[in-house]
Amino acid sequence: MEFRATRPPTASHKTGAFVLFRAEQSRDLGRLPVPDTVLRKLAAAAWKAKEFTGKRGQVVALHGGAGGRRLLLVGLGPRKGVDGEALREGAGNAALDLDGRGVSSATFLVPALGDAVDLAGACVEGAGLALYRFDRLKSKAPKPALGRVTVAPERGTAPSVTAPVKRAAAVMEGVRFARDLGNLPGNIATPVYLAREARTLSGRGVSVRVHDRAAIKRMRMGAFAAVAQGSHNEPRLIEITYRCGKRGAETIGLVGKGVTFDTGGISIKPAALMEEMKFDMCGGAAVLGAVHALRALQLPVNVHALVPASDNMPDGKAYRPGDIIKARNGTTIEVISTDAEGRLLLCDSLVYSADKKPDCIINLATLTGAIVVALGDSAAGLFSNDDALLEELEEAGRETGERLWPMPILPGHDEAIKSPYSDLRNSGGRWGGACTAAAFLQNFVGDTPWAHLDIAGTAWNDRPRSYLRKGATGFGVRLLVEFLARRA
């Protein structure tokens, strides 16, 4: 999809449809900033007849404009509740409606309800996220009708929206990259495939280094190697350096879990819905998607990113419950469940990341079903050893609509992962599972400010929801870019 920015349109503006956003109890429907007299009158009549009320989620299509142009009236809900997320949802609803009607181009008018710059980006995100399709593996797939979206301020006094539209479009490409990786099946998106896709990001401040199985062992990553030993698909540790910040500027460490397919290993999962375990690499996909966006935006920051990628399979060589393995920092770990494999990939990667002396580390992982029980699909769990970092991430989540909810690591959670046979055990049992998993990871970051995002409930949808279709959501890409932009 192509996104453009322009000034407030005139009567000669060429488009298949105008999209106008209004909150409830708006008072200007009789003098709308639409450069089409007929459409303006139709909109006023729809408002007067209460066919359009501005209710959140409402979309009313009007026909009869010059050259067959349409007008979509999109409701944003109560005026006090209008924010970027409301506009994202409205833009997604409008894009799906227009695409279903076969409209090829549309002009979205940014309402004068707040920061026009922020709302312009939300328009692009809503439309781009809603119209994403993963159909590259179908023999026949219809092409989307809506191919071009122009974003313009309603009134001439509003600031230019060119910069936020360009930025949001670049971020959308990063999200698309992450969603494509997440939606690919495990027989295609193997660790080797992920590494190959990561290499395409090289250049423009990005360097990529890929470590194979032998290198992982040489790096003393015994936990990572143990998970990988049961799969014929070769593991890969993907290491990416992005340097566009000033020399001596802070470096942000990113780590994304990349389990390309998770059977549970010897502690095998139930058959029902196991096909969804192709999404167990969505943390890694989010990190790669964020780098994709950073490369395009050339944000002046420094990032060291890691994606430990492996299958988790029940082969004759697979690691077993009861095994004791050693992590890169020398910590010994009793394996209680081979289905608690993600934290074993992450722990070695966190130690390696901390060895690079970053100013902070953020890891993303579809780590526990327990976080889904706690938060559902409305927010990801946020754990941190640093209150300032936690607040920064929480604010970035509010801004992007990728919400995070702070969760605790309490002394009881640390106690639950102690083992009589080794330093730690990789599972603290059923109760407080998301918290005990976070407590486990905290042992591998030392004194580095660190945040763990458990995205198991938000990384993919099992049904269409709001402006996101079924499948991988790309959760974390927009959040990370927003966080890094603020740090820049």
Least confident of 444-448, 458-462, 465-469: 465-469
SS3 415: helix
pLDDT greater than 90 at residue 38: no
pLDDT greater than 90 at residue 118: no
Is 140 an annotated catalytic residue? Answer: no
pLDDT greater than 90 at residue 263: yes
Identify the CA nearest to 348 among candidates 333, 369, 367.
Answer: 333
Q: State the pLDDT confidence band at 145, using cuts at 50, 70 and 90.
A: very high
Q: State the pLDDT confidence band at 31, using cuts at 50, 70 and 90.
A: low
Report the alpha-carbon distance of residue 52 to residue 36 in Å, rounded.
Answer: 19
pLDDT greater than 90 at residue 67: no
Contact criterion met (CB below 8 Å) for 434 and 371: yes
Report the alpha-carbon distance of residue 231 to residue 262 in Å, rounded.
Answer: 11
Per-chain mean pLDDT for the chain:
94
Q: State the pLDDT confidence band at 30, using cuts at 50, 70 and 90.
A: low
Mean pLDDT of 450-467: 95
Find the catalytic residue in 41, 209, 217, 269: 269
Ranges 112-121, 149-158, 386-395, most confident: 386-395
Segment 353-382, tens digit of pLDDT: 999 999 999 999 999 999 999 999 999 999
Is 269 an annotated catalytic residue? Answer: yes
Note the pLDDT of residue 346. Answer: 98
Note the pLDDT of residue 324. Answer: 98
Q: Where are the alpha helices (DSSP H) in 356-403?
A: 369-375, 387-400
Mean pLDDT of 15-34: 81
Q: Which helix (H) or strand (E) holds 96?
A: helix 84-100
pLDDT greater than 90 at residue 326: yes
Note the pLDDT of residue 19. Answer: 95
Note the pLDDT of residue 29. Answer: 61
pLDDT greater than 80 at residue 66: no
Report which of residues 248 and 309 the model is more confident about.
Answer: 309
Least confident of 147-161, 268-282, 286-300: 147-161
Mean pLDDT of 16-31: 81
φ and ψ at residue 215, rounded to 5 degrees: -65, -40
Mean pLDDT of 7-25: 89
Note the pLDDT of residue 374. Answer: 97
Note the pLDDT of residue 311. Answer: 98
pLDDT greater than 80 at residue 194: yes
Segment 397-452, tens digit of pLDDT: 999 999 999 999 999 999 999 999 999 999 999 999 999 999 999 999 999 999 99
| DSSP line for 308-347 | EEEEE---TT---TT-EEE-TTS-EEE-S-TT--HHHHHH
Structure tokens at 382: 């946020």
Find the catalytic residue in 70, 278, 326, 343: 343
Note the pLDDT of residue 400. Answer: 96
Note the pLDDT of residue 383. Answer: 98
Note the pLDDT of residue 480. Answer: 98
Note the pLDDT of residue 123. Answer: 95
The number of residues making up the chain comes to: 488
Report which of residues 34 and 337 the model is more confident about.
Answer: 337
Identify the CA nearest to 287 among candidates 444, 167, 455.
Answer: 455
Structural domains of the chain, with CATH: 2-154 (3.40.220.10), 171-487 (3.40.630.10)
Report which of residues 119 and 324 the model is more confident about.
Answer: 324
SS3 11: coil
